Amino acid sequence: MILFVKKYLKHIVIAIITIAYFLISPIVQQRLALRASDLVVVSDPLPPLTQDARMFVDRIRLINVRDGVFQMDGWGFVILDSKIVPPDYERTILLVSDTNVFALPTVDVQRKDVTSAFENLGLNLIKSGFASTFQNNALPKGDYIISLLFTIPDGTQTRYDSRFELHRTYNSIYLVEPDN
């Protein structure tokens, strides 16, 4: 055995380095991509959950094949006594797993359909849609609950958990609606 190792030491070292590179490089690359991406690691305790909100995630889709950029589309709003609506407050997507929480900035999207669907609330929800992009490789493996963080102009924050989950596996990413 010792003789074998001595005889083929160079090749054994090359094999070990190759396998180590094969297994470890994606982890290193994910961490580098996370640093360079818009994903923000949330380390503070999360604000309380509210039930007075509505949210839906329409889809996630690959919008840039070369860089592996995905876009998440949906809508969401919080029902407040002050009747304020997006874009009067800020909305941030939270991806919450057992070990990590990531925040994603959103841009407002017009949604006439949401306005008409929630006519009874008396809110102007024309800007209740949101879109957010993120790089696939930046997100570590895990199952994430998709949540929406509302930051009201007075600085108070509240959040609403959707029934959607984002499943990031080793090589893919997909949206799951557990009830469905």
Partner 1 sequence: MISEQSQSSFFDYLLAGFLPLLSVVYFVVFTYATNVEILTLSSIWGILGVLAVIALLIFILWSLFQKKKPYQSAFAAFLFMLLFLTYGGVHNLLTKANFIPIRHYNLMVLVVIIGLYLGWFISKLSFDLTKKLWVLLTSLVGILILFNLTRILPTEIQKHSLKSQSMDTQTATVAVDTTGKPDIYWLIFDEFAGFDVMRDYFNYPEIDNFVRDLEDLGFQVVENSHASSYYTLHQISTRLNYESLPSDLKEVEYYKYIADNKVMSELKSRGYTTVVLDEAGSADFGFQAKTPVNADIQLEDYVESTDASSSMVFGSFGLLVARQTMLAPLTVYYNLENEGVARHRDTIYFVSDKLARLVLPKPKFVYSHLLFPHMPFMFTENGSYLESPYYHDWDSYLGQYKFSLKVIARTVRSILDEADPQNPPIIILQSDHGARNLVNDSLGQVGLENYGNEYKTSIMYAVYAPGCQDMPLEDGIDPVNTFPLVFNCLFDMDIPLQ
111 vs 159, which CB is nearer to partner 1? 111
Residue 168 CA to residue 33 CA, distance in Å, equals 15
Interface with partner 1 (CB under 8 A), residue from 6, 22, 154, 155? 22
Site for partner 1 contains 9 (CB under 8 A): no
Site for partner 1 contains 31 (CB under 8 A): no
Interface stretch with partner 1, choices 41-49, 55-63, 123-131, 142-150 (CB under 8 A): 55-63
Closest CA to 150 of 130, 175, 173: 130
Site for partner 1 contains 61 (CB under 8 A): yes
Burial classification of residue 145, based on how many CB atoms lie within 10 Å of its CB (0-12 exposed, 13-18 middle, 19 or more buried):
middle
Site for partner 1 contains 83 (CB under 8 A): no
Residue 106 contacts by C-beta under 8 Å, 6 or more apart in sequence?
A: 91, 92, 93, 130, 131, 132
Interface stretch with partner 1, choices 41-49, 79-87, 95-103, 169-177 (CB under 8 A): 169-177
Site for partner 1 contains 29 (CB under 8 A): yes
Site for partner 1 contains 120 (CB under 8 A): no
Sign of the Cα torsion 35, 38, 39, 41 reads: positive
Site for partner 1 contains 6 (CB under 8 A): no
3 vs 23, which CB is nearer to partner 1? 23
Residue count of the chain:
180
Total binding residues toward partner 1, as defined by CB under 8 A: 22
First to last CA, the chain: 57
Site for partner 1 contains 66 (CB under 8 A): yes
Residue 125 CA to residue 80 CA, distance in Å, equals 13
Q: Which residue has the tokens 């309380």?
A: 48
Contacts with partner 1 by CB under 8 A lie at 11, 14, 18-19, 21-23, 25-27, 29, 59, 61-66, 169-172
